[in-house]
């Protein structure tokens, strides 16, 4: 079992490292984040619609195989 002082020291190191990092919501970052989110939602929705529970999908013909 780990010593509680060891875990406290590691937490202090992490806090020291992360307190200097700030994420600013500038317009470019927000736009990029929104585009990535839209792309992921599109990919997930297509996966659910055409490939969920299938072993293989032939994309151009929307034919699937289940083994």
Where along the chain do its domains lie? 29-67
Distance, CA of 49 to CA of 14 (rounded, Å) = 42
β 56-58/63-65 pair status = antiparallel
In percent, the amount of the chain with pLDDT more than 90 equals 22
Other beta carbons within 10 angstroms of residue 14's beta carbon come to 10
Q: Are 56 and 65 in contact (CB under 8 A)?
A: yes
Reading the block at residue 50, the tokens are 């055409």
- Would you place residue 63 in the very low, low, confident or very high pLDDT band (cuts 50, 70, 90)? low
pTM for the structure as a whole: 0.50
């Amino acid at each position: 079992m780990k010593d509680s002082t060891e875990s406290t020291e590691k937490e202090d190191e992490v806090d020291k490292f992360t307190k200097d990092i700030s994420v600013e919501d500038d317009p470019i970052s927000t736009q990029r984040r929104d585009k990535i989110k839209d792309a992921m939602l599109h990919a997930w929705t297509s996966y659910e619609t055409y490939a969920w529970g299938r072993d293989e999908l032939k994309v151009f013909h929307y034919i699937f195989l289940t083994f």
